[in-house]
Amino acid sequence: MHLVQSPACLCRHISHVLSIQWFVNTAFPAALLNVSYIFFSAERVLVRVKDLTVEKADEVVWVRARVHTSRAKGKQCFLVLRQQQFNVQALVAVGDRASKQMVKFAANITKESIVDVEGVVRKVDQKIESCTQQDVELHVERIYVISAAEPRLPLQLEDAVRPETEGEEEGRATVNQDTRLDNRVIDLRTSTSQAVFGLQSGICQLFRETLTEKGCVEIQTPKIISAASEGGANVFTVSYFKTSAYLAQSPQLYKQMCICADFEKVFCIGPVFRAEDSNTHRHLTEFVGLDIEMAFNYHYHEVVNEIADTMVQIFKGLEKRFQTEIQTVGKQFPCEPFKFLEPTLRLEYTEGLAMLREAGIEMDFYILDKYPLAVRPFYTMPDPQNPKYSNSYDMFMRGEEILSGAQRVHDAQLLTERATHHGIDLEKIKSYIDSFRFGAPPHAGGGIGLERVTMLYLGLHNVRQTSMFPRDPKRLTP
């Protein structure tokens, strides 16, 4: 252990290493030893808040967390220490290990400051309902401020996690969407946001795991492209040296080119850009696409079944691995558990529309098949039995579309005809069409919106709640 020689030396050292405050109720040399220990001890183990359980009762532990709330009462100060979506009550009380000044110091630590706390884990007689760690509390012996927050916060986290119905009934404050998004870093600290994006990470993980087990290859595709990948006007144009380029509306063309290159089954996770001037609860101008493309042997339903099974495996994995996150979000935004069948309910487009008009579809996850050809992109394969329809499909969660897919045209001549019909400049997609001239297997696929899947699985009301830093026609910051 390196020993600091003088108070002046110590202060200089601290200013170069870390901004820290401390209080001890002993003489200054003892404080020197304590701070020296903070900087030069490599043996200290910081315990995660979620691991503070009755199994650790009577153990002395170190915890690093944020001060969520503090409340002084006489010779005591109660703190709630938060670490991501987990929190624990801490008690600073006058006694052998703490003075009145230490209690006062703890009470004056600003909310959202990061602190290191040494304390004894104590089992409580009555559950602490306001904390995730309900069976224990931390009796503080030492506390250090690692990073102090400014006293005035742009929003209060207690208000940001309050259910809207509770706020309306009791007249208590809630936080509106624009305030949340303008101060997104603070809003993302709430237990609800931590749970939402923890679960969203799980969706990506399960998507990747499931498709890898199915023999798929993960690919990365260009996002700056020479032609609109979906056709139409909903595309961002960017300056590209002496010419213009576009931000990819999807990885569609490159997924198909990989199938032509004999990769057979591919998937990718990446940003997708749509220049749609839509300010609805489900539209973004940039979102994360989960894309799949697969060759098939005899019928495009082979691919439909594989995609549907992938979604089912994701739903089952979320149920199994992310119950804590689901329950945390449910406290603020209650909803019915997500319902799905295995195998997935699949209806033809006309049949599904009739059911929706009459009584609706009770299942939360289903597929509509055989859409009209006129409403699908140029690369969609027409239905050989009825050319007004197509071998295309959408997948729905809680009544909203989360995937659009189809069998793709794999004949260069038909693809040229379809592109011409849609008014697409053939020269700009020449390399794409040429990739089908040398033998291309029949194939199909689809694109899924990650933020929509997260929103609908959790029963949330706006896709901006599930986009970490959302982009829409009116928002380009933060």
**Residues with catalytic annotation?**
274, 276, 282-283, 401, 404, 452
Burial 32-70 (b: 16+ CB within 10 A, else e): bebbbebeeeeeeeebebeebeeebeeeebebbbbbbbb
Residue 13 CB neighbours (<10 A):
15
CA distance 336 to 359: 19
Counting every residue, how long is the chain? Answer: 478
φ/ψ of 177, rounded to 5, equals: -65, -45
Q: Which two tokens stand for residue 174?
A: 């809630």
Angstrom distance (rounded) from CA 430 to CA 97? 77
394 contact partners, CB below 8 Å, separation of at least 6:
367, 368, 371, 401, 403, 404, 405
> How many other CB atoms sit within 10 Å of the CB of residue 282?
17
What's the sign of the alpha-carbon dihedral 156, 160, 162, 164? Answer: positive
Contact between 332 and 161 under an 8 Å Cβ cutoff? The reply is yes
Burial class of residue 355, CB neighbours in 10 A (0-12, 13-18, 19+): middle
- DSSP state string for 148-159: PPPSS-SS-HHH
